[in-house]
Amino acid sequence: MLCTGIIHDDRKKRIYEYIASTQYFPVKIKQLAAIIGVPAKDKREYRDIIDELIKENRIYLDRYGLIHPERESIVTGTFSQAKPGYGFVICDDGTEDVFIHESDTFSAMNGDIVKVILSGKRKKRREGIITEVIKRKITEVVGTIQKNKNFSFVVPDDIYKIKDIFIPKGKTGGAANNQKVVAHINDYGGNDGKSPSGEIISILGYADEPGVDILAIAKEAGLPDEFPYEVLEEADNMPDVISEREISQRKDIRDWITITIDGEDAKDLDDAVTLKYENNIYTLGVHIADVTHYVREDTALNREALARGTSAYLVDRVIPMLPKKLSNGICSLNEGADRLCLSCIMQFDDDGNLLNHEIAETVINVNHRMTYSSVQKIVADNDAEERNKYSDILNMLLDMRTLAEKRIGIRKKQGAVDFDFPESKIILDSNGNPVSIKPYERNIATRIIEEFMLATNETIAEDYYWQDQPFVYRSHEAPDMAKMHELSVFISNFGYKVRFTGNDIHPMEIQKLLAGLEGVPEENLISRLVLRSMKRAKYTVTAQGHFGLATKYYCHFTSPIRRYPDLIIHRIIKENLHGKLDSARTSHYDEILPEIAERSSMLERRAELAEREVHKLKKAEYMLSHIGEVYEGIISGVTGWGVYVELPNTVEGMVRITDMTDDDYVYEDKSYRISGRYTGKEYLIGQKVMVEVLNASTETRTVDFVFVEK
């Protein structure tokens, strides 16, 4: 029988998919032909297909002649859709990723857990066919509705990860054409070309309405918006003042001079500090809002806080973990108000070494609500007006600077890694348009609070480690050594090096590298490459150490208003202080904490993703008003399709190279280099260049540059 190669390959694919499917039960060759209905005229071709599959090691016959799919040919993993159509499956077993052609994606969407049949190799990469979606990640899609007379489509904002969603007539939820909406997927379609379909469940507004763009990103990331009614009801029932009865049961330190130091626009103030320096001893009090006094275990407030995991900060808004009645009200350490705290009161010697500490339930009253800029003026700029205004705490602030600098010195000796490159600060106008983007610089005022919080978190973690109580730690594993060796080779091109001890590296080596970068053009670039070589910090129930901070014990204790791990360990500490952490409660925490730690790590990543996407959006929007302008930047990366350039204001864009060949793009000794026929020049990572803003897109959240002569 004659047939074209296309027909033959299609039949072969279908036969193999059936044999590898979960519906298949091993049968003999003739039985399979009968099951799938092979006509008599096609039986020779059918046997040829079976022989080919056997030779390709995709199926095998057992000693009874039964057909089985080859075990190594079926893998499971996570589908990553690179652009509309094709994608890759990242395998659960850690083996090489599998390329999936557009026609073989089944109905999988980005992030789905899938089953894949390996179909061979092409250009040295594994290829496969998705045959089953084991678990869906995406159930809702954010996008723009495009309406027709009898049907509509939602075009997803994330066009690289999600397919268009068909919306039947009557399922639009009243949305108008071109509005931003949220669609729930009811049917995921399949390989037959059928589109996913669903219905509109929420209308966000038009894209040009203030705040809708950021709201869309929040929805796209899966961040919650409004609090459920029962959560708000519980919050509304909370008192506005502290009762005398509660004060009488706590350590009353309202007569201590206490301050908060935060950004100008901060509203949820969850940490306050006090400091006394007497007889060469520093007594530092770090007072953290006692959120668990109001958020009890078996409440809607606690369940919602656990579901959110963390607050998210999205330039123009905060999506809080707790309702404002708590986060900005009774839990916020506002100036002049009595507030309940869980305090860590530490004593340090004159060199800044910890001598002892006390953990106590306290009541405080903040004397001054300070800002970073104000403290900077006082302790660093010697501003006479500001010093006179806060003369009652001048000496305390100066002592705080001294103690913080001593603690910084101790951490440096231990080898703590300090990534001091600027983050972005984006200023919006009343309509949500970006009017300024600049680096958010750290100063001595921010370092004071950072050092005091680090000391507190480390002290609390070590205390509870040695008490052997159930706990949630903040852990940061040592970096992957393969990545560190690649980094070492790369930075050698700039004249830098790191020293390894066997197959290990001490954080001190990273610290020395970063210290040597201060003030050089490639500082931000190499610092970011070092950071990317590190593993991600996470929450764990065992003290696995914190590589970046060079400490064996670390936790998050200081922000229970905005992080659930802080809240849960406050609850554990308070129970322990009251002698209630008996065997039953210990068993309870042993059971629930692993899931809380894992979930909190996942929700932290979700919030970070949303924050990053909002920054990309607003940076692209800002650069739209600067088309044609020329900037000096630094090459931050090189790929096969272009060169990334970062500007001093932290905006990163790409010089797109559409005509590159392998001769133009060289990767030698782990050093990226491009050159050649399209410019006749050579560009290296870390090199300063002049670029003109060519274009920017809020849809793709990208910025395009072109090289210009200096």
333 CA to centre of own chain: 28
User: What is the predicted pLDDT for the residue at 671?
Assistant: 38
User: What is the predicted pLDDT for the residue at 521?
Assistant: 67
Q: Which long-range contacts (CB under 8 A, 24 or more apart) does 462-467 make?
A: 462/552, 462/553, 463/357, 463/359, 464/555, 464/569, 464/572, 464/573, 465/543, 465/552, 465/553, 467/576
Rounded CA separation 320/561 (Å): 8
3-state secondary structure of 562: coil
Q: What stretches in the chain show pLDDT beneath 70?
A: 1-5, 62-64, 71-72, 83-85, 120, 122-123, 159-161, 190-193, 419-422, 521-522, 640, 658-682, 710
CB distance 133 to 117 below 8 Å: no
- CA separation (Å) from 361 to 203, 296, 464, 674? 46, 16, 16, 61
Residue 355 is encoded by which pair of tokens?
């001598």
User: What is the predicted pLDDT for the residue at 663?
Assistant: 46
Rounded CA separation 660/358 (Å): 64
pLDDT tens digits for range 198-223: 999 999 999 889 999 999 999 988 99
Residue 516 is encoded by which pair of tokens?
């040597």
DSSP notation for 651-690: -EEEEE-TT--TTTEEEETTEEEEESTTTS-EEETT-EEE
Angle value at C-alpha 405, between 401 and 408, nearest 5 degrees: 140
User: 356 - beta bridge partners?
Assistant: 347
- Tokens 């809240």 correspond to 567
pLDDT tens digits for range 27-52: 899 999 988 888 888 888 899 999 99
User: What is the predicted pLDDT for the residue at 641?
Assistant: 74
DSSP notation for 432-465: S-EEEEEEE---HHHHHHHHHHHHHHHHHHHHHH
**Domains in the chain, CATH or no CATH each:** 5-69 (1.10.10.10), 72-135 (2.40.50.140), 140-207 (2.40.50.140), 229-474+551-607 (no CATH), 478-534 (no CATH), 626-708 (2.40.50.140)
599 CA to centre of own chain: 13
Rounded CA separation 562/230 (Å): 20
Residue 509 is encoded by which pair of tokens?
């080596």
User: What is the predicted pLDDT for the residue at 4?
Assistant: 58
